Structure 1
Amino acid sequence: MFVRTASERDIEAVRALLVETWHATYDAIYGTEKVTEITDSWHSIASLRRRLTRPNSEFLVADDGKRIGGMAYAEADAGGDTVMLRQLYVLPALQGRGIGGMLLDEIIESFSDAKRMRLEVEEQNVKAIAFYQAHGFAQTDRTANCGADQSGIPALIYEMPLI
């Protein structure tokens, strides 16, 4: 796998990756219907397309030339000090092979002037929490609305200094 900037031609494969990964990770937590509702909204083709051109952001994919095995998306705040890692997902069959670490490293390099990186993670997603802790993140807070205002989805907030 190699990491590169996502393009329009990747959008459908990224959506498929997100749908598969979300169902594998969250069906047992939220139920299939809720996960489908979330992925249809948060991971729609239109939503993903908008991320390709959003200022102060980076949208990456891990590609082996045959398939997209992972993706990451992050955006910096207006001052550029804080980067919010909005998404970092690897196909379930490819997890544990270093793809997530490669994506995270490239996201960090993309925001060389930032002072910290922040993310939200479902507290029952123990694999993701272990991954982030192993990469230097520590829990700093909680939110009742992960991913979107009024989502009603609680999450832990993790942060890592970048300087």
Structure 2
Amino acid sequence: MILLRRAKAEDMPIVADLAERIWPATYSAYISDEQLRYMLDLMYNQGELLAQLEKGYVFLMASEEDKDVGFACYSIVDTANDVYKLHKIYVLPEMHGKGVGKILMNEVLNLAKRNGGKSLELNVNKHNKAKDFYLKSGFKIKESVTIDIGNGFVMDDFVMELALS
């Protein structure tokens, strides 16, 4: 059985460890090892993760039999229009197909709705097969973006959106 809990500051090393284990399997087919390392160091260092918690980002941890197997992170990004953003959702490769991503996604959707959210947005790499998961979940492609993340690297993403009402 998959259990969810809201992460605390002491869970951030677990989030970073999961990202280190998940990202190579997820991205190595279309992102260079150099960009992968740069992005992990940029986005999953403890200072950055703790800063996100302090800004009000909510991290949810998924576990099975006391083993952490995935996480999601979301926050409100536009209070005037009640827009939430799913910043991260990752599940260990060996847990794919077991519904963990769906459980995390449903919890984020429920929490955003409960807090008055009108829509949920996310960015996904154009080559990431998770895009199909999002489309099946009802998300629509809103726009295509190329984001300069420094060091000569970019993220080539789709911004996807799901209406919550």
> What is the TM-score with the length of structure 1 in the denominator?
0.90
Alignment of 1:39-118 (within 5 A): 39-55=40-56, 57-76=57-76, 77-79=78-80, 81-112=82-113, 113-118=116-121
Name the counterpart of 1:34. Answer: 35
Name the counterpart of 2:145. Answer: 143
One-letter code of the match for 1:124? H
Q: CA deviation at 1:80?
A: 5.6
Q: CA deviation at 1:147?
A: 7.4
Q: CA deviation at 1:66?
A: 2.8
Q: Secondary structure at the match of 2:122?
A: strand
One-letter code of the match for 1:159? E
1:16-49 Cα offsets, whole Å, 9 max, x none, are: 1112211111122111121011001111111112
One-letter code of the match for 1:79? A
Q: Secondary structure at the match of 2:28?
A: helix
Unaligned runs of 5+ in 1: none
Matches of 1:10 and 1:147 in 2, distance apart? 26
Could you tell which deviates more after superposition, 65-74 or 34-43?
65-74
1:118-161 Cα offsets, whole Å, 9 max, x none, are: 111011112x011111111111111111779x962110111110
Contact 1:6–1:52 (8 Å) recurs in 2: no
Stretches (4+) displaced over 3 A:
none
- The alignment-based identity, stated in percent, is 26
Q: Secondary structure at the match of 2:155?
A: coil
Is the counterpart of residue 124 in structure 1 residue 131 in structure 2? Answer: no
Matches of 1:51 and 1:60 in 2, distance apart? 13
Contact 2:35–2:153 (8 Å) recurs in 1: no
Name the counterpart of 2:158. Answer: 156
One-letter code of the match for 2:146? A
The root-mean-square deviation of aligned C-alpha atoms, in Å, is 1.9
Contact 1:51–1:59 (8 Å) recurs in 2: no
Q: Secondary structure at the match of 1:30?
A: coil
Q: CA deviation at 1:9?
A: 2.6
Q: Secondary structure at the match of 1:93?
A: helix
Contact 1:58–1:107 (8 Å) recurs in 2: no
Q: Secondary structure at the match of 1:97?
A: coil
- How many residue pairs align between the two structures? 160
- Structure 1 residues 3 and 58 mapped into 2: Cα distance closer, same or farther (>3 Å)? same
1:56-100 Cα offsets, whole Å, 9 max, x none, are: x32111022532111111111233611111101101111111111
